[in-house]
Structure 1
């Protein structure tokens, strides 16, 4: 598992691409520039690792498009030391980006195959989330709450109440909401009872699955 100067050069190009598409956060762009995305993909896809596209991984899931990862992460507005809940660990790429930003990450995956693979893989390349959980993302993870931020990396038909309840006051939930096409949605908790909602256009995600294997 090598990360060469060539890979670094390709990452720098990728950073420029997503910056040109409108990502402004210097911290997010630096994180994209540091995480070796090619290590998160099957070797057959190495040529595509630094193209701004989603690609298939195991269990009929995908590694998200880097622009989408950057867009969601920018909306999350992560600060060093923030406790973040990620719903949908997948390949672990988004997890690594959050860890690069200095977050303490709890991450949930419901596909056993991906859960096993990513649990072993992330520490091997130096990324250690606070906890990687095999479970139902719709339920969140009460034990780590309240969270400064919650990021959902799959399309949900609605916003799960459990996630809203686990958000700290002032916390941000970034979730793609919808069936075939999702609207990227940011929800900010203003008080115990008040939430503020913002919408940021259409995206396509694999669906958030409810029942466990």
Structure 2
């Protein structure tokens, strides 16, 4: 500490940067530094995996109250998320984490809908909580992003039979595996074609080098 903070010749504290306390204090009070400090605080508060306190616009009203105020009914989790994580003045997401969570949830829901429509097992009810939990990376340290510790209540509700059937889940996994296998096969074919082209180019270059060598020897 003695190296980083010591008195200068004018009797002012110097923090190792060569600047006296008065100049450091002025720099820390500048608008640019204040904006950067606030942004860093928001970034720390909105943890990318939901481990910290997520940014939201709901104020001090608990999530349970928001559920009753949004639509006059029990909203879905994504409706609640949109209501509490968008700025009222311009309807923009409060941060990238909130936006990506919504987009991932929407993508999974569309995949589930397509799987149900493509199956012959009839209608299937997907758990809204399980879909949301999958979209945000599941439970971390007893909390789910957007739900906090209330995730345990949803776990209890969905475990009683609200989640989709095992047969439909198996059908979804089978379709996903089939699609991934086909995609992998396309990648392998593209790699094989590329290797063949490279081999042909190398052979052409070798032939050209041989011809050039022969021409030089004949001269």
For normalisation by structure 1, the TM-score amounts to: 0.29
Q: Which is richer in strand?
A: 1
TM-score between the two structures when normalised by the length of structure 2 = 0.28
User: Higher relative contact order at CA 8 Å, sep ≥6: structure 1 or structure 2?
Assistant: 1
Greater percentage in helix: 2
